[in-house]
């Protein structure tokens, strides 16, 4: 049972004076980065048209993703050596600089550079909340904070596209990026002073790990080469390039990720497998669900978008539920909640995929995607709580970077592999349902790995 009633008043709430500024600042930072992500997806067609840069379209996403991996690793290294305050300020500044560069771009190449800076800054910022939770918040508040962070994604999912398109129509797409900068200043004002006094490096941390930084770049390069190879289906270089990317990615992963991860070692390695493979399954489904709904089931763009919102809302509901269950049941049932969440994720993705390709009634996709989101809310957040309890002093940044790297890398690979299957079907003049069946079969298969890992997270 929760020991909350015996806690001092200043430790009972996320918004107690001791935590208020940091909590508000973290949630506002999540809102800001989430809005930016939704806004870019909304206005990018207009940006590409304005800058005559359609050929750079994919790189606007890829540059963000690949630099995010590097930023996550660097952020984790800096946090363990400097505490959270300085890295948070540095990456907040880099993210803001990326917004200004993208907003002022007069050529698509400059816009992509801005996206690269945004990805690097966002990657570093993503490493901070986990470290702050480990150092600043007591165990009974961590589940609540994770639920609040999940909920912070809901508003941008609901209103981000509308707000971005409204700002672009009223002014220009440039203003969409500029409008985020004042929010970053407010985030820094709320959080940095408190972090300077409450999160410090532990003991005498070792020097910055240049080797690890080098392997983070190799990981990003390997992922880029792999994805590029998958897209070169009309070239004799497709398989040599793809296999080179696989080898580079595997080599870098062995250095970046914890030892034992490839044999499902108990504890943090298995927790990272749950995080990465659930991201592969969920975000891969999210990437291809609108395509299938619009092209096969003849949903409108609005209807497909509303379905994605269902997943975001149910994720938030699941995260809130896990916080309440954790408060009522305590940490003893956390492994069960991870297993339950991963089971819901697998079943939900299976139902969604069968609905999209016409093997179930089309509207059952709503049930399936709601189940998948609920499973992520229950399992994803609880898995993070379990890992938080296993982090050694002085390693919160490192573990945070490992978690985020696995998530970003595997989400990118799921989209890349699925995209290659769709391209293959188009080149072979096959119906769209064939690559989508293969894609969802792959996603369900990878999600089953979380069932194995979930038994070994603690």
* Percent share of the chain, pLDDT over 70: 95
Give the torsion sign (CA, 370, 371, 375, 376). Answer: negative
Q: How many CB atoms are located within 10 Å of the residue 339 CB? A: 20
pLDDT of residue 55: 66
Task: Give residue 40's pLDDT band: very low, low, confident or very high (50, 70, 90).
Answer: confident
- Residue 122, both tokens: 């966002």
Residue 6 inside a domain? The answer is: no
Residue 3 inside a domain? The answer is: no
**Torsion angle, CA of 36/62/312/381, rounded to 10 degrees?**
-100
Counting Cβ atoms within 10 Å, is residue 260 exposed (0-12), middle (13-18) or buried (19+)? middle
Residue 286 inside a domain? The answer is: yes
Q: Are residues 215 and 190 in the same domain?
A: no
pLDDT of residue 1: 39
In terms of average pLDDT, the best of 24-38, 235-249, 319-333 is 235-249
Read off the DSSP letter of residue 5: G
Going by C-alpha positions, the residue among 341, 374, 39, 321 that lies closest to residue 180 is 39
Q: Are residues 82 and 147 in the same domain?
A: yes
Q: Are residues 22 and 41 in the same domain?
A: yes
pLDDT of residue 300: 80
pLDDT of residue 16: 85
Residue 174 inside a domain? The answer is: yes
381-396: b (≥16 Cβ within 10 Å) or e: bbbbbbbbeebeebbb
Going by C-alpha positions, the residue among 247, 248, 254, 252 that lies closest to residue 216 is 252
Give the pLDDT confidence of 251-307 residue by residue, as tens digits: 999 888 998 999 999 999 999 999 999 999 998 898 888 888 888 888 886 777 778
pLDDT of residue 207: 73
Q: Indicate the number of domains in the chain.
A: 3
Provide DSSP, 100-124.
Answer: HHHHT-SSHHHHHHHHHHHHHHHHH
Q: How many CB atoms are located within 10 Å of the residue 189 CB? A: 11
Q: Are residues 408 and 304 in the same domain?
A: yes
Which residue segment(s) compose the domain that 245 sits in?
Answer: 209-256
pLDDT of residue 203: 59
Q: How many CB atoms are located within 10 Å of the residue 218 CB? A: 18
CA–CA dist 269, 259 (Å, integer): 7
Question: What's the mean pLDDT in 65-87?
Answer: 85
* Whether pLDDT at 396 is above 80: no
Give the pLDDT confidence of 411-422 residue by residue, as tens digits: 888 888 888 888
Q: Which residues have a Cβ under 8 Å from the Cβ of 115 and sit 6 or more positions away?
A: 40, 59, 60, 61, 63, 64, 98, 102
CATH number of the domain encompassing residue 117: 1.20.1250.20
Task: Give residue 369's pLDDT band: very low, low, confident or very high (50, 70, 90).
Answer: very high
CA–CA dist 264, 63 (Å, integer): 31
CA–CA dist 456, 458 (Å, integer): 5
Last residue of a domain, one of 219, 239, 256: 256
Last residue of a domain, one of 256, 291, 314: 256
Q: Are residues 363 and 374 in the same domain?
A: yes
pLDDT of residue 144: 83
Q: Are residues 325 and 370 in the same domain?
A: yes
* Percent share of the chain, pLDDT over 90: 34
Q: Are residues 247 and 269 in the same domain?
A: no
* Whether pLDDT at 4 is above 70: no
pLDDT of residue 149: 80
Residue 7 inside a domain? The answer is: no
* Whether pLDDT at 350 is above 60: yes
Residues in the chain: 458
Q: Are residues 133 and 178 in the same domain?
A: yes
CA–CA dist 448, 287 (Å, integer): 19
CA–CA dist 67, 114 (Å, integer): 11
Give the torsion sign (CA, 218, 220, 223, 224). Answer: negative
393: left (phi over 0), alpha (psi -120 to 50) or beta: beta
Specify whether the CB–CB gap between 433 and 358 falls below 8 A. Answer: yes
Q: Are residues 271 and 216 in the same domain?
A: no
Q: Are residues 411 and 352 in the same domain?
A: yes
* Whether pLDDT at 342 is above 90: yes
Give the pLDDT confidence of 165-182 residue by residue, as tens digits: 888 888 889 999 999 999
Last residue of a domain, one of 208, 224, 246: 208
CA–CA dist 41, 45 (Å, integer): 8
* Whether pLDDT at 3 is above 70: no
Give the pLDDT confidence of 78-129 residue by residue, as tens digits: 888 888 888 989 999 999 999 999 999 999 899 999 999 999 999 888 888 8
Q: Are residues 219 and 360 in the same domain?
A: no
Residue 357 inside a domain? The answer is: yes
Tell me the pLDDT of the chain averaged across its residues: 86
Q: Which residues have a Cβ under 8 Å from the Cβ of 49 and sit 6 or more positions away?
A: none
Read off the DSSP letter of residue 209: -
Q: Which residues have a Cβ under 8 Å from the Cβ of 11 and sit 6 or more positions away?
A: 18, 138, 141
* Whether pLDDT at 5 is above 60: no
Tell the residue number behind the tokens 């409008």, with chain if given: 179
Residue 5 inside a domain? The answer is: no
Give the pLDDT confidence of 181-215 residue by residue, as tens digits: 998 999 888 888 877 776 666 556 667 778 888 88
Task: Give residue 246's pLDDT band: very low, low, confident or very high (50, 70, 90).
Answer: very high
* Whether pLDDT at 2 is above 70: no
Q: Are residues 236 and 317 in the same domain?
A: no
Residue 2 inside a domain? The answer is: no
């Amino acid at each position: 049972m929760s020991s909350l009633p015996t806690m001092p008043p200043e430790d009972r709430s996320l918004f107690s004076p001791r935590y208020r500024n940091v909590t508000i600042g973290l949630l506002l930072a999540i809102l800001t980065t989430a809005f930016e992500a939704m806004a870019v997806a909304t206005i990018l067609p207009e940006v590409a048209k304005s800058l005559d840069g359609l050929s750079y379209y994919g790189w606007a996403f890829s540059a963000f993703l690949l630099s995010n991996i590097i930023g996550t690793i660097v952020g984790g290294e800096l946090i363990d050596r400097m505490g959270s305050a300085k890295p948070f300020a540095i990456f907040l500044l880099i993210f803001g600089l990326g917004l200004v560069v993208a907003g002022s771009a007069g050529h698509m190449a400059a816009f992509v550079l801005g996206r690269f800076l945004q990805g690097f800054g966002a990657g570093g910022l993503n490493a901070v909340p986990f470290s702050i939770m480990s150092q600043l918040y007591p165990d009974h508040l961590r589940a609540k904070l994770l639920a609040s962070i999940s909920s912070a994604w809901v508003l941008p999912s609901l209103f981000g596209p509308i707000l971005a398109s409204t700002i672009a129509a009223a002014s220009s797409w440039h203003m969409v990026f500029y409008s985020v900068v004042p929010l970053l200043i407010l985030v820094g004002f709320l959080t940095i002073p408190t972090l300077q006094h409450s999160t410090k490096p532990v003991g005498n941390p070792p020097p910055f790990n240049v080797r690890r930084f080098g392997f983070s770049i190799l990981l990003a390069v390997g992922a880029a080469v792999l994805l590029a190879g998958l897209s070169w289906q009309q070239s004799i270089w497709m398989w040599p390039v793809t296999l080179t990317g696989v080898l580079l990615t595997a080599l870098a992963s062995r250095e970046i990720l914890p030892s034992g991860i490839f044999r499902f070692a108990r504890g943090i390695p298995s927790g990272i497998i749950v995080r990465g493979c659930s991201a592969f399954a969920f975000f891969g489904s999210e990437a291809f669900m609108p395509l299938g709904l619009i092209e096969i089931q003849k949903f409108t763009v609005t209807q497909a978008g509303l379905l994605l919102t269902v997943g975001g809302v149910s994720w938030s509901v699941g995260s809130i539920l896990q916080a309440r269950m954790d408060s009522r049941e305590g940490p003893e049932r956390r492994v069960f909640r991870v297993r339950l969440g991963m089971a819901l994720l697998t079943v939900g993705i299976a139902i969604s995929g069968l609905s999209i390709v016409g093997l179930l009634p089309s509207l059952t996709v709503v049930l399936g995607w709601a189940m998948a989101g609920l499973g992520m809310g229950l399992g994803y957040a609880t898995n993070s709580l379990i890992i938080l309890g296993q982090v050694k002093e002085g390693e919160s940044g490192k573990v945070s970077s490992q978690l985020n790297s696995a998530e970003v890398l595997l989400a990118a690979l799921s989209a890349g592999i699925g995209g290659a299957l769709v391209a293959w079907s188009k080149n072979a003049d096959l119906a769209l349902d064939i690559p989508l069946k293969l894609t969802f079969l792959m996603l369900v298969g990878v999600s089953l790995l979380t069932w194995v890992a979930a038994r070994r997270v603690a």
